[in-house]
Structure 1
């Protein structure tokens, strides 16, 4: 069931923003004096509760460091936290331009898996985000994709029906999860193929 609205709900990393800066994990591993593969495993193993707002940055990095048998002193934790935020700070300028133009003709919102402190930094650095109808950061709403609760949050926040949304993400599992709660979905591979898909979908409204 749809209310007749057309809301484009975008993922952030891999769509509008770029994935983690190459070499970042290796840089953080070197700071901790551990092998890159061991650091990478600890980094991602501990990540889900941090993304979903159930861990603070300090708790996350303490777990990572303890898992590597490294001391979790405050200076190391803060250095890693800031390096991590910087590693996820890049945007795709062409996509930002597209999103800003899209806001002029459609309701546009964002749903991203991102820790709360990363989200604060991103909001401060990217003022165009405030032009969106709604911003749902996992660390703020305490639900991360592909958890259905993340998608339902957007439906409730925008007082819409699930079928009013076209969800765009570069990960197929997240698109399938959105479709499972009744949203329309599109797997992002680039702006050239996204723009006509969005145009066609908006015309059906």
Structure 2
């Protein structure tokens, strides 16, 4: 049997923000795109670690020296932009679970998005032995504690875990935590690496 397989969510199973959604967020904010995205990402770690939505957008506005006219619309548009899956990866989750692999999820995700995923994607999320969400554990990747908590949740030592993330910084941190980790490129890559990691019977 292969090692426990742990996936990141965004950029792996879930799609990153589509360009149209990104443009709409900038339009709602009413500030230049470059400045908006600098503030958006600079304030994101605290949001991922459990900060509430109102506090996050207040921090973004403060960093920009701006006042947003419609914060609820920004919150709604932001959540919608992070709510889309890659069907090929969802199929792979089912395939791996059906083959007897133990699966875990380790995601940097804001609290308001968790119920969106749990209510709309329960079928395939239910194939995971453990879901580790940054907002629920109070730390986000690449903090080494996130990887330890994830490994404990899925019932494995870090050295038993094969981890996939689209962010190289997070992959390096996973390796430092003792996991085998790869920068995700495709479902085919996952199949190949899982096959190579599974001893012949």
State TM-score, norm by structure 1: 0.90
Residue 72 of structure 1 deviates from its aligned partner by 5.0
Aligned counterpart for 1:123 among listed residues 114, 118, 124: 118
Partners in 2 of 1:160 and 1:31 — Cα distance? 44
Does residue 1:98 correspond to 2:92, yes or no? yes
* 2:19 aligned counterpart, secondary structure: coil
Deviates more, 1:79-88 or 1:19-28: 19-28
* Structure 2 partner of 1:50: 47
* Structure 2 partner of 1:84: 78
After superposition, the Cα gap between the structure-2 partners of 1:133 and 1:196, relative to the gap in structure 1 and judged at 3 Å, is same
* Structure 2 partner of 1:37: 34
Deviation sequence 1:112-153 (CA, Å, 0-9, x none): 111111122122111111221001111111111111011000
Whether contact under 8 Å (1:25, 1:40) holds in the other structure is no
Where structure 2 has 5 or more consecutive residues not aligned to the other structure, the ranges are none
Deviation sequence 1:52-80 (CA, Å, 0-9, x none): 12x2111001111233333357xx22211
Where structure 1 has 5 or more consecutive residues not aligned to the other structure, the ranges are none
Deviation sequence 1:82-133 (CA, Å, 0-9, x none): 1001111111101100111111220011001111111221221111112210
Report the RMSD for the aligned CA atoms in angstroms.
Answer: 1.8
Residue 159 of structure 1 deviates from its aligned partner by 3.0
* Structure 2 partner of 1:6: 3
* Structure 1 partner of 2:147: 151
* Structure 1 partner of 2:130: 134
* Structure 1 partner of 2:160: 164
* Structure 2 partner of 1:20: 17
State TM-score, norm by structure 2: 0.92
Partners in 1 of 2:173 and 2:72 — Cα distance? 34
* Structure 2 partner of 1:111: 106
